[in-house]
Amino acid sequence: MNRENVLHGQVALVTGASRGIGLAIARRLGQMGARVSLCARKKPDLERAASDLRAAEIEVLAVPTDVTRSDEVSHLVAETQRTLGSVDILVNNAGIGIFGPFHIETDENWNSVLDTNLKSAFLTSRAVAPEMIRRKSGHIINISSLAGKSAFANGAIYCASKWGLLGLTGCMAEELRPHGIRVSAICPGSVATEFSPHAGKDPSKMLQPDDVAHAVAALMTQSPGSFISELDIRPTQKP
């Protein structure tokens, strides 16, 4: 099987795709033959990402979107369907991290993290699910974190969002399996990106965005009769 063209004719929607993990995932899916819809909040960053992918001869649509707002998500999905076609693959990658002692955190920080990391996955999945159900096929991949399984000091809000995302993923998977739709979670450890620096860690020993993109590609190339529900990724050396 030619894995570089295995997604020919399919449409992939990737959130938080202007840089880092999201951009790496979008590039990998495009290299596999998919037409790719990108979204992020900042239009200049999004346009740079789209130009980068187009230079690699990947068909791209870029739609500035706040994925915490249902009206903007509806517009994103409608524009993707109108321009590229029905969404075959949804990768919920958008995420932020705010860290500190839970007892001094603000309502604003709680809402910002939970809305971006958890609510957005609900909104985008809800928007694409009816068409996937009608077509009896589709893939939804939620980029969670090992922080969705392990508690650590000053991580209460972030961990809550990622634990919640794993719970949402599991329930969605059970509901959509009868319709031929696979829903999976990818849980990376620390990833070296400009967006999420990790003080005191050696970036060369950390996971790279392409490692997460590779995991997405693995899920896309599993046999029709299998269903990988969750995939953990760790670096070979502790950073």
In the chain the domains, ranked by start, together with CATH numbers, are: 3-233 (3.40.50.720)
d(CA 162, CA 148): 4
- Contact between 15 and 39 under an 8 Å Cβ cutoff? The reply is yes
Block residue for tokens 């502790």? 238
Which pLDDT score is estimated for 103? 97
6, 34 Cβ separation under 8 angstroms = no
**Predicted local confidence at residue 1, as pLDDT:** 36
pLDDT given at position 174? 98
Contact call for residues 220 and 89 (beta carbons, < 8 A): yes
Residue 49's H or E segment, with its range, is helix 43-55
144 and 94 Cβ atoms separated by less than 8 Å: no
Residues 35, 63, 142, 158: which is the catalytic one?
Answer: 158
- Burial (CB < 10 A; 0-12, 13-18, 19+), residue 86, is middle
- Strand pairing report for 11-15 and 230-233: unpaired
Question: Residue holding tokens 């993109």?
Answer: 213
Q: Which two tokens stand for residue 181?
A: 């739709």
- Identify whether 158 is a catalytic site residue: yes
Q: How far apart are CA 76 and CA 81, in angstroms?
A: 9
What pLDDT was estimated at residue 2?
42
pLDDT along the chain (239 residues), means of 10: 77 97 98 98 97 98 98 98 98 96 98 98 98 98 97 96 98 97 96 70 89 97 92 90
Share of the chain residues as helix, strand and coil, in percent rounded to the nearest 5: 50, 15, 35
CB neighbours (10 Å) of residue 112?
Answer: 16
- pLDDT at residue 197 in the model: 53
Residue 224's CB is within 10 A of a number of other CB atoms, namely 8
Residue 159 has which token pair? 């961990």
pTM of this prediction exceeds 0.85 = yes
Q: Which pLDDT score, from 0 to 100, does residue 205 have?
A: 86
